[in-house]
Amino acid sequence: MEYRREIDGLRAVAVLPVILFHAGFQLFGGGFVGVDIFFVISGYLITTILIHELQAGQFSILNFYERRARRILPALFLLLLACLPFAWFWLVPDDLKSFGQSLLAVTVFASNILFWQQSDYFDSSAEFKPLLHTWSLAVEEQFYLLFPLFLMLFWRRDQRVLLAVLAGTALASLAAAQWGVAKDPTATFFLLPTRGWELAIGALCAYYMSRPGAGEYAQRTRELASLAGLGLIGISIFAFDKYTPFPSVYALLPTVGAAMIILFAAPPTTVGKILGSRILVGVGLVSYSAYLWHQPLLAFARHRSMEGPSTALMASLVALTMVLAYLSWQFVEKPFRNRSKFGRPQVFAFAIAGSLLFFGIGLAGHKTDGMRSVKTTPQQQEVLRTVTASPERAVCHTKGLDYRKPQDACAFNATGGEWAVFGDSHAIELAYALSVELKDSHQGVRQFSFSGCSPSYQRADLNPGCSDWTRETVDFIAGDPHIKEVVVSYRLHSALFGDHEGIYPRLPDEFSDAKRSAIWASYKTILNRFVGAGKRVTVVLQAPELPRQVDKLIRQAEDPRTVDGVTLDWWRRRSAYVEQRLGELPAGVRIVRPESLFCDAARCYAVKDAKALYFDDDHMSVYGAGLVAHGILAGQARACETGCSLKSTAWTSTPNKRH
């Protein structure tokens, strides 16, 4: 197969944005599309090799899988081995169990299925998964489990049938991705049926380039087409972000861009010269190892840093990634590709032994619950048992364009209840806790919650489906005569200013003042709609955020029965924007401040009285939400006069005047 320097340069264009995206550099908001470029390159290169072998009558399925083992496994096994001591010493039991499950999945190339079940790729929790990036290896290997057999089946038949089936399958996969990004975005992101079309684009390029006379273009055509391809990739890297519905038709930009470079770039073209430069070719040669090393380095740094890794540290880890990538390529990848050093029996023996080793270690991590009895004290275990989310969280929460309609919302205690809890994911545990508090009175509670949906009545949010759900649900609640009480709970500080970083608030430069004003205006509109419909409205302000996941804080505390979170001073600075504007809320809205229950005069706590107030770093646990729910009902029972402020409790109300 003829070597093309520009393809190695394209690998560099793929891997560097992925690394910088995972490192948190906001300029590369669409850096995740590098994986899509890799899929196209992989489909092109491997299909080219298969076609050459089929044309020469030399194709062997055993040879194919031997090549895959030589290419994929040595560097992957080295990476897994290097992760083990850091996982043992730095991960808490829950994370160690998750890591063990990742090891299990990686060894059978099913990590994309595991991560589909565990979390969204763009969730903040995903940043802490050392092996998250192996999902793309799983997609590739699942594709190559079937693709060579497909080529063998159709190769000796009519070539037009092969092309039609391949193109038809690619179009069906793209259509499934476009449909699935609304129905189930997480499954669509991770799974082969909605990713296969990207590999198929590369395969179609290879099929075309194998035809006699293919690739004979005028120089001007090569120049314009290859520059256009590079431009499409650039647009996707710098214009896309985590809110872009992906992979959908949006993924055509990086994939078609990569295909245009493969088809039209050549050494004499501008793009060919850029991609064929020594630096980019060098990065491309080590791109596989670089891709393997970057995520564990970044994830373990996030686990270790109480305040969140600094930009300088993340930049240093990016540089370290490239150093480790070179060493891995030079001393592991290259030797294992040399058949004179490692024969087929040795390669397959190595593959089997390594897979069994890591499968066994992963199974042990899973079965022992992350070595919980070894890594935690009895006191810690007692407190960790209270780190619980609502048992109905997975069932009752909604997200995406195919969201749960408000009339189908979960109802606790009784259908058609008089209580509605409305908001983003911060409403989930509160709804459940309220239902427990009201169980004996037989008052029904309905949960209306949408994942990551900031107040967006006027389409101020980019979260797919969020604005439509908000308007539908607000109208439904306002128009339902059975609903008398509405509790509104948002992660409002993050909606206005972005996620916190460690113990420090993120500066407000992530969002423009115009966007912040639009979100606040939507918030007031929602509350006005409820009040105008005659509902009694209670606003639960955001609970103080923690510097790290609560289970990590518990494990590090000298006394796990009382664990600090952040200072009250920090939290009040983080809350200043909201506090200064509470007077703008509609008259009569009751306000609950969880900080009054979770903080003393100096500190806000993660654990009090041996019970966790949270189940991660910002969502209240069932116990913490129960304290707030009790405060809501206690404040209501005391029938505070309008304008009063019960400083001994968490409950206040807005003055009885128009705004």
Tally of CB atoms within 10 A around 334: 13
Whole-model pTM?
0.81
pLDDT in tens, 274-297: 999 999 999 999 999 999 999 999
What pLDDT, on a 0 to 100 scale, did the predictor assign at position 510? Answer: 52
Q: Which residues pair with 450 in a beta bridge?
A: 398
What pLDDT, on a 0 to 100 scale, did the predictor assign at position 402? Answer: 81
Residue 420 to residues 37, 391, 446, 520, 580, Cα–Cα distance (Å): 46, 18, 5, 21, 27
What pLDDT, on a 0 to 100 scale, did the predictor assign at position 640? Answer: 39
- pLDDT(167) > 70: yes
What pLDDT, on a 0 to 100 scale, did the predictor assign at position 465? Answer: 85
Cα 93 from Cα 75, distance rounded (Å): 27
* Chain centroid, CA 275 distance in Å: 30
pLDDT bucket at 638, cuts 50 / 70 / 90: very low
Cα 498 from Cα 241, distance rounded (Å): 14
What pLDDT, on a 0 to 100 scale, did the predictor assign at position 636? Answer: 58
- pLDDT(459) > 80: no
pLDDT in tens, 367-378: 998 988 888 888
What pLDDT, on a 0 to 100 scale, did the predictor assign at position 40? Answer: 98
- pLDDT(308) > 70: yes
Kindly report the backbone phi and psi dihedral angles of residue 13, in degrees, each rounded to the nearest multiple of 5, phi listed first. -65, -25
Cα 458 from Cα 471, distance rounded (Å): 9
What pLDDT, on a 0 to 100 scale, did the predictor assign at position 125? Answer: 77
Give the number of residues written for the chain: 659
Listed in sequence order, the residues at least 6 apart from 407 whose beta carbon sits closer than 8 Å to its beta carbon are 476
One-letter amino acid at 435 equals S
For 445, half-sphere exposure in the C-beta direction (CA atoms, 13 angstrom radius) is 25
pLDDT bucket at 647, cuts 50 / 70 / 90: very low
- The answer to whether the CB of 377 falls within 8 A of the CB of 561 is no
pLDDT in tens, 545-571: 998 889 889 988 889 999 999 999 999
pLDDT bucket at 213, cuts 50 / 70 / 90: confident
- pLDDT(651) > 60: no
Cα 159 from Cα 155, distance rounded (Å): 7
Residue the block writes with tokens 């929460």: 397
pLDDT bucket at 460, cuts 50 / 70 / 90: low
- pLDDT(648) > 80: no
pLDDT in tens, 87-145: 999 998 888 999 999 999 999 999 999 999 987 888 777 889 999 999 999 999 999 99
- pLDDT(5) > 90: yes
DSSP SS3 for 561: coil
Cα 306 from Cα 552, distance rounded (Å): 10
Tally of CB atoms within 10 A around 559: 10
Instruction: Express as a percent the part of the chain with pLDDT over 90.
Output: 71
DSSP SS3 for 200: helix
What pLDDT, on a 0 to 100 scale, did the predictor assign at position 417? Answer: 82
Cα 367 from Cα 583, distance rounded (Å): 53
What pLDDT, on a 0 to 100 scale, did the predictor assign at position 634? Answer: 84
SS3 sequence, 244-269?
A: CCCCCHHHHHHHHHHHHHHHHCCCCC
- pLDDT(407) > 60: yes
Q: Which residues pair with 601 in a beta bridge?
A: none
Kindly report the backbone phi and psi dihedral angles of residue 524, in degrees, each rounded to the nearest multiple of 5, phi listed first. -65, -35
H-type alpha helices, 533-652: 550-556, 568-574, 576-580, 595-598, 622-637
Instruction: Express as a percent the part of the chain with pLDDT over 70.
Output: 93
Mean pLDDT, range 297-321, rounded to an integer: 90
- Give the chain's domains with CATH numbers: 5-372 (no CATH), 393-545+582-596+619-653 (3.40.50.2300)
Q: Return left, alpha or beta for 172; rule: phi > 0 is left, psi -120 to 50 is alpha, else beta.
A: alpha
Task: Return the higher-pLDDT residue of 380 and 507.
Answer: 380
Cα 473 from Cα 529, distance rounded (Å): 11
Radius of gyration of the chain (CA): 27
Output the average pLDDT for the chain.
Answer: 90
Mean pLDDT, range 519-540, rounded to an integer: 94
What pLDDT, on a 0 to 100 scale, did the predictor assign at position 645? Answer: 38
